[in-house]
């Protein structure tokens, strides 16, 4: 299942390099297929979306929008226990993201100079929510709530129809709770293209967010520039740092919670204890017998799982920073002691009662996180992701006169005499 690697400065780095290679090359056939879909939707609009939905989902798309009134009716009929859990999760997510709100600002000087920045939400945002064999109401909350808090004027959601042409009630209830304005039942690269270009039925948006399969991710990548996107997301991943006080049954459960996402998902345990490493593998073998997605978990752990035994915690922390995982759990005696040293991670889970699924569903911080090592320079989805900033400048005659010599000097140094003239003409007799 998983072999144990003892870190020696070389073996573990070679292993991590091998695990990272799963995202090193985009499938050329997928890219070519998605390019064709995008171009077809661009040229034919609704007709292309309907055609691809019949071909790939084997059902009919619904391009008549499901609006707030219909969403309310669906939410009212939703399972009460699920609806209550969604409401509680939404409350936590809203409370966390409300603290990220920024304000416009400006500064003034006595000579009449005013500089500032105007901050406002995007006009229209598209949210992609996967369908197929699983439903993801949590993704609706995580994507739509920050957009609403940011002040986005219209939130439009697309999600694949079920085989009977219907929808998942929990996903729709989440859309109502989160403040989604319209839902269209279509998915895949064709839905992403429809949001980017607009069709006869679906409005063109400014940004597209949300997870999806390789076709959805490729469409977002190809359309970036025409619209903004959240990030290019790869397969899910978790790295767990554990010392000799960690509970192997918890470590095993948390590794498998990520492995069940996808055969390409990566679950890595980095521990200072050989005994903990061996016991965790035994726990995986025991617990997996009771899990419905055991086959996927086994493939994921075999191909992209790892257990690394380090000499000390310093080595473990350095490995974590090098890998920059999407999810990072710290299962140590004093987890908070390491927080200031862990610089590269999408989200950090501290202590044995903070498992990764807590972040997926409920705690409040966003679960849309950078993957594939991009946590070195990317951040989680946030209110900031749905804002645009415009700077503004207002100089008085006196203020410009004080600055004119410096501006002219810099313009002439760059050989742009029309720039210099734009200043000079204002002070000619």
| Cβ atoms 349, 356 nearer than 8 A | yes
Pairing of strands 207-209, 266-271: unpaired
Task: Give the number of C-alpha atoms closer than 13 A to the C-alpha of residue 42, restricted to the C-beta side.
Answer: 10
Query: What is the rounded CA–CA span in Å between residue 30 and residue 36?
Result: 10
- Please say whether the beta carbons of 83 and 173 come within 8 A: yes
Of the residues 326, 329, 356, 367, only one is catalytic, namely 326
Outline where 57-79 has alpha helix (H). 68-77
What is the signed CA dihedral for 71, 76, 80, 86, rounded to 10 degrees?
30
DSSP strand E in 83-132: where?
105-108, 114-121, 124-128
* Whole-number Å distance between alpha carbons of 69 and 127: 19
Cα-to-chain-centroid distance, residue 26:
19
Give yes or no: 97 in active site.
no
Q: How far apart are CA 123 and CA 387, in angstroms?
A: 10
> In DSSP terms, which residues pair with 120 in a beta bridge?
388
Token digits for 287? 């617990």
Which of 237, 260, 283, 327 is an active site residue? 327
Terminal-to-terminal C-alpha distance of the chain: 84
Q: What is the largest CA-CA distance in the chain?
A: 89
In the sheet with 306-309, reading across from the earlier edge strand, the strands are 4-6, 306-309, 266-271, 237-242, 327-331, 347-350
As a residue count, the chain comes to: 429
| Catalytic residue status for 419 | no
For the annotated catalytic residues, the residue numbers are 326-327
């Amino acid at each position: 299942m998983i072999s144990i690697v003892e870190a020696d400065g070389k073996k573990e780095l070679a292993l991590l390099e091998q695990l990272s290679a799963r995202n090193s090359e985009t499938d050329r056939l997928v890219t070519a297929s998605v390019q064709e879909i995008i171009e077809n939707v661009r040229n034919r609009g609704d007709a292309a979306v309907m055609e691809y939905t019949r071909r790939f989902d084997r059902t009919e798309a619904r391009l008549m929008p499901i609006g707030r009134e219909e969403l309310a009716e669906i939410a009212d009929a939703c399972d009460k226990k699920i609806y209550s859990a969604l409401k509680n999760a939404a409350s936590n997510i809203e409370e966390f993201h409300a603290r990220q709100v920024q304000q416009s600002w400006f500064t003034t000087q006595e000579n009449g100079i005013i500089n500032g920045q105007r901050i406002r939400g995007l006009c229209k945002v598209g949210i992609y929510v996967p369908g197929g064999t699983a439903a993801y109401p949590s993704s609706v909350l995580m994507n739509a709530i920050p957009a609403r808090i940011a002040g986005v004027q219209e939130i439009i959601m697309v999600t694949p129809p079920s085989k009977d042409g219907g929808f998942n009630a929990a996903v729709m209830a989440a859309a109502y709770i989160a403040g989604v304005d319209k839902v269209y039942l279509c998915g895949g690269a064709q839905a992403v293209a429809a949001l980017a270009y607009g069709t006869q039925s679906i409005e063109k948006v400014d940004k597209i967010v949300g997870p999806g399969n390789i076709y959805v991710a490729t469409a977002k990548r190809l359309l970036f520039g025409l619209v903004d996107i959240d990030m290019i997301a790869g397969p899910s991943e978790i790295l767990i740092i554990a010392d000799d006080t960690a509970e192997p049954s918890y470590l095993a459960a948390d590794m498998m919670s990520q492995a069940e996402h996808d055969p390409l998902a990566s679950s890595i345990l980095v521990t200072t204890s050989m005994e903990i490493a061996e016991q965790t593998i035994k726990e995986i073998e025991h617990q997996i017998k009771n899990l419905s997605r055991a086959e996927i978990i086994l493939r994921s752990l075999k191909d992209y799982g790892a257990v690394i035994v380090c000499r000390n915690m310093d080595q473990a922390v350095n490995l974590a920073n090098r890998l920059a995982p999407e999810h990072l759990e710290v299962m140590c005696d004093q987890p908070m002691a390491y927080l200031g040293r862990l610089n590269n991670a999408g989200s950090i889970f501290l202590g044995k009662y903070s498992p990764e699924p807590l972040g997926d569903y409920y705690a409040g911080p966003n679960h849309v996180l950078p993957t594939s090592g991009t946590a070195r320079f990317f951040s989680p989805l946030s209110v900031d992701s749905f804002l645009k900033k415009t700077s503004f400048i207002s100089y008085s005659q006196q203020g410009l006169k004080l600055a004119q010599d410096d501006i002219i000097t810099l313009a002439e140094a760059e050989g742009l005499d029309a720039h210099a003239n734009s200043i000079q003409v204002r002070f000619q007799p």
